[in-house]
Amino acid sequence: MTTTRRTLLRATAGFAVASPAILRAQAAWPTKPITIVVNFPAGGLTDGIARAFGQHVQQTTGQQVMIDNKPGASGNIGAALVARAPADGYTFLHSVSSTLVQNRVMFKTLGFDPDKDFTIVSGTSSGVLPVVVHKSVPVANLKEFVDYAKKNKVNFGSWALGSSAHVFAQGLNQKYGLDMEVVTYKGEAPMWQDMGAGQLQAAMGSPQAFNALLIKGEIKPIAAPSRVRAGKLPDVPTSIEQGFTDDAFVVRGWLALAAPAATPKPIVQKMSDLWVAAADSEPGRKMMESFGLTEKPLNHEEVMKDYEVLKATVIPRIVALGITPE
């Protein structure tokens, strides 16, 4: 009887040593509010998707989802905050893929390591981001725009340093000998404000974010820098259709929902499932339709694979442009 009790105590003691880590990984989640840090201002695609998808997560789990906008340094400030946050499944980053890919070669110091500090939970297509010009610019297509930029001063808006808009504009500069100035903003909202005021001659971004200017006739879309036309602007030809077949003129990327790297895998997987399902929820579907997005989000496994492809594709392209890290 004593031996049996002693053996049982040993076994129980061994279980007690091992169980906390197991329980932490398998504990019910979430049990308190979740914060999603958006590293760009309110009003753009990144913020809009975070709020709509976050609403689905809140409705499904019964826990409040708070959106915390932390713009600055092309997304680096918000990303660094999440990188240092507890890896407990209650702090996430919602960003553009350029924060994790392009920024590593655009800045000397990020304040975080994209590969070591994060795991990507899900990736939502950013859709087609058309190139538009101010109404004062007398062009109707990309070729005419290049000819115009050879003879006139052009300020080209970019929502962040190293963004797809930045790479696109620099690609035009390099390939066609232009001298456009890329004006960098902390997100889309302030960029479109300046476009409406006539301070920018061209910019690139999401149709929903510039829709008000389009309705007022303040801007004209001239190209879809993608392999397919924009769902909201089906009459605007792609860059490829206009003869701009260089890879630099075909934008590729997604919106990343990321978590601190040590976040337990079961939590990452559950949040991934919630985020993918959010695209079919009422708030998620409405938001995606408003931005003309049709592709379903990538789950955790899919986005981590595509992350490697994106790095291998985009990083050499930026390096080749000769952009000096800031």
Instruction: Find the mean pLDDT for residues 279-291.
Output: 93
Q: What is the pTM of this model?
A: 0.74
24: pLDDT confidence band, cut at 50, 70 and 90? low
Do residues 105 and 169 share a domain? no
Instruction: Find the mean pLDDT for residues 267-276.
Output: 98
Final residue of a structural domain among 249, 265, 282: 249
Residue 232 structural domain = 131-249
Do residues 267 and 245 share a domain? no
Assigned domain for 326 exists: no
Assigned domain for 4 exists: no
Assigned domain for 59 exists: yes
In this structure, what CATH number is given to the domain that contains residue 220? 3.40.190.10
Do residues 109 and 37 share a domain? yes
* 76 token code pair: 């680096």
Assigned domain for 3 exists: no
Sign of the dihedral defined by the CA atoms of residues 249, 251, 252, 257, in that order = positive
Instruction: Find the mean pLDDT for residues 188-193.
Output: 94
Assigned domain for 16 exists: no
100: pLDDT confidence band, cut at 50, 70 and 90? very high
Final residue of a structural domain among 202, 229, 249: 249
Q: Is 32 exposed, middle or buried (0-12, 13-18, 19+ CB in 10 A)?
A: exposed
Do residues 50 and 70 share a domain? yes
CA distances to 179, 186, 208, 253 from 197, in Å = 22, 17, 18, 29
Q: Give yes or no for residue 321 having a pLDDT over 80.
A: no
In this structure, what CATH number is given to the domain that contains residue 316? 3.40.190.150
Do residues 96 and 161 share a domain? no
Q: Domain tally for the chain? A: 2
Q: In what order do the strands lie in the sheet with 219-223?
A: 181-184, 155-158, 202-204, 131-134, 219-223
